[in-house]
Chain A
Amino acid sequence: MVGVFQIHPSIWGRQISNAGLPAATPGSPEDPTLSATVSVAWIPVGDGGDAGRQVVEVRGLTAGALASLSELVKAGSAWHRFLAVYAESGDELTIDPLMPSMAGTYALTQGVLRFVPAFPPSPGVRYRAVLRREAFPPGSLPADGVTLTATHREPSVASHPTTLVSRIAPSSKVVPENLLKFYVHFSAPMSRGHIYDHIRLRTAKGDVVELPFLEIDEELWNPEMTRLTLFLDPGRIKRGVKPLEEIGPSLEEGHRYTLVIDRGWRDAAGQPLKAAFEKVFEVGPPDREPPDPKRWAIHPPHARGREALTLNFPEPMDDALTRRLLRVVGEGVPVPEGRAELASEERQWLFIPDVPWVAGNYQLLVGSTLEDLAGNNPGKPFEVDLFEGVQRRLSNEMIRLPFVVR
């Protein structure tokens, strides 16, 4: 490679002297054969949330070298001309002059030049601090041939594949042709970037469906990155738009498909999945009917018991929205703490209290952005037939389902 010089591994981390310093850190071994006084060393600092941070300290600089650095302080010039840190991940130690050195802050205090990297070290990456001889006045550093460098290698995180796809919603074996989304749940946090390379939709014949999903760089994760929302391409769901006209829907009624998540997808620790995952499902007719709350059946629990409050839907509902958009309020009676669950392939919502119910009047509130599997909202279909038919919707609209606990 043009303009790249290599340093033989045998002189990594050589220091001139470590007098007065803490014990040499791993990766920066002393070399007792050298007698000069300048040292470059990695020093562990920080604790708590800052644990594992490392800084570079240069000690034993001569008066001439310090004077040069002091001038630098006044001029606000580029510190990295004197001391630069490079991150290296390959097998060979290289300095590519086209590559910037690592960002961080420099300080000169009581004769010690200190570099604090802007970021903590990454696992498996080697960091090399280089004191640049050529930037200092002649004679202010030890003789030529002495390499003023120190390396720190952040240990790799030893791990093996353990993460799995834990479930995919909807869980029903039959989905509408105009299914809007899948939720892919993982057993541990995952990583971003090129995720769609690992997701395939296959027909019963084994053919791969072309571009069935909405692929967006933002990648729709939950904050913990254990759940990915995978929208079907809306251009292939909506009637009258060009992609649907040209290549048809992603899913076709009467056909069977397999959603495949391959093993190559890496989790947040950089490991591939422990196993691939396949979800086989069949496609039923499109659902263009908005959910009708009048057809939802609420089953109130009994007072003084810890029976679940249940709400039954005549069709499977969106997994995430149904878990989030329902809540119980009491009319002058306390609502017990508890947990919500979905059952019967997302056709049943249950609220299981921690403490017994108190007799009284309650309401189950349902947010109007609740969706069925095809993105239809209560009282409002996914596709509106003619704009003039769009009813004005108030933003704080809520569906109220009263019930009595006796």
Chain B
Amino acid sequence: MKTLLSTVVLTCAALSATAVVQPDPNWFAGFQEGTPALKSASKLAFGPEGILFIADTKAAAVVAVATGDTQLAGASKLVKVEGVNLKVAALLGTTPDEILIEDMAVNPVSRQIYLAVARGRGPSSTPAVIRVGADLAPVLVSLEKVRFSRADLPDAPVDAPPKEGQRGGNPRLESITDIAFLENRLLIAGLSNEEFASTLRAIPFPFKTVANGSSVEIYHGAHGRFETRSPIRTFVPFNVGDQPHLLAAYTCTPLVQFPIKDIQPGAKIKGKTIAELGNRNRPLDMIVYEKGGKEYLLLANSSRGVMKVTTDKIETLDAIGEPVKDGATRGIAYETLAGWTGVDQLDRLDAGNALVLRQAGGGSLNLESLALP
């Protein structure tokens, strides 16, 4: 789970702030049986009833797969899989240096762990989805003859004129950098390899045919007086009071929140910067959890470890209005967790534990559960 950009263009054809969650939706409407032709498995997220969303950057699509994984798989226990990348390489019949673990997601119902993997590092790499169950043995998830539904994303931004009278393939590719399911929508963040205006799309689920639709721009303020654009690294849905928000971690260090209800066609949104996390802050993943009646945010960071952020003041916090100086950190409080080192991927395993994929030296990666602090 990862990135997006600050002039966030929300494609919201069927997106409406007034969208009402159906009382008992048929989540499998529009599903077909077959083999979803994945070109890549970039990001994973779980929806309701064991539905696994697989973001396919190369195909500019998201596939929803009915995993049937809808029961708690064995008693909840601590997880430690040493050298999980080596085991995945063995399972896929190749060498560990030919394996890239792209993302990790825990099925919140079964607590089984899913990994998105690339077998091969070049343009002809093959995607694979791996499941690590209660026995901690990785298995390949077969995507043959499964029930699935697919949403194709527009390959280019809505204002990019198509080629006409000119030759050549389109070198533009929009990396899907984070996905999350929220109520009845899949939020998809993208980062283009060309223009510096990435997209955040909210696609109604079950998937329907979605036109490009109108878009909104989300600015995040409080860089002094300058409203700027910058990539969001990762985001997480989060309730502020009883209002659903997105908390987005930007590469240029602010943590920004904006209400999901503001995301309406044609709107222009200003996000609120609630923390400036400073230099060398390279956000990777975020999770939200509750402990002792309070909500916290964990932010994994490639160069500063994992940060625990207290969120109880988010509701009343003023936006940071001035630049932060002298190495100070402004906004909500955070602490860097000792011992949570080398974390590449972060997700919530259960109410009391996080799951991390972390570097264990010598190119080995471990899958471990860590008690939520």
Residues of A at the B interface (CB closer than 8 Å) are 85-87, 89, 98-103, 117-119, 121-122, 124-125, 127, 180-181, 189-193, 211, 214-225, 227, 229, 231, 233-235, 238-243, 245-247, 266-269, 318, 320-321, 324-329, 335-340, 351, 365-369, 371, 375, 377, 382-387, 390, 392-393, 395-398
Contacts and interface: CB of A to CB of B under 8 A. Distances in A.
B252 A239 contact: no
B8 to A, nearest CB: 13
Interface string B148-169: 0000000001111111111111
Contacts of B192: 220
B140 A118 contact: yes
Interface string B98-127: 101010000000000000001101111110
Contact of B90 (A86, A335, A387): A86
Q: Is the interface of A mostly helix, strand, loop or mixed?
A: loop
Given A225-B123, A371-B196, A239 B224 contact: yes
A153 to B, nearest CB: 13
Interface residues of B, number: 94
Interface stretch (B18-26, B28-36, B63-71, B211-219): B211-219
Contacts of A368: 159
Given A101-B91, A118-B93, A328-B165, 18 more contacts: A87-B94, A99-B90, A100-B139, A101-B90, A103-B91, A122-B98, A217-B344, A224-B171, A235-B279, A239-B226, A240-B223, A241-B230, A241-B252, A241-B276, A243-B279, A245-B324, A247-B279, A369-B157
Contact of A119 (B94, B175, B278): B94
A220 B193 contact: yes
Contacts of B167: 337-339
Given A180-B196, A241-B253, A242-B277, A327 B93 contact: no
Interface in B198-251: 212, 214-215, 217, 219, 221, 223-231, 233, 251
**3 nearest A-B pairs in the assembled complex, by CB-CB distance:** A268-B122, A240-B224, A235-B252
Candidate in A85, A217, A338 with the most chain B CB atoms within 10 angstroms: A217
B93 A85 contact: yes
Contacts of A222: 171-173, 193
B320 to A, nearest CB: 10
Interface of B: 2-3, 9, 42, 57-58, 86-87, 89-95, 98, 100, 102, 118-119, 121-126, 137-140, 157-173, 175, 177, 191-197, 212, 214-215, 217, 219, 221, 223-231, 233, 251-254, 266, 268, 270, 276-282, 284, 302-303, 323-325, 327, 344
B123 A234 contact: no
6 contacts: A103-B140, A192-B122, A220-B175, A240-B224, A240-B323, A242-B279
A367 B279 contact: no
B146 to A, nearest CB: 15
Contact of B159 (A191, A243, A320, A367): A367
A338 B166 contact: yes
Contacts of B252: 233-235, 238, 241, 243
A84 B188 CA distance: 40
B342 to A, nearest CB: 14
B280 A211 contact: yes
A366 B160 CA distance: 8
A214 B231 contact: yes
A239 B196 contact: no
A397 B159 contact: yes
Contact of B92 (A103, A127, A180, A181): A103
B228 A382 contact: yes
Nearest to B6: A234
Contacts of B42: 218
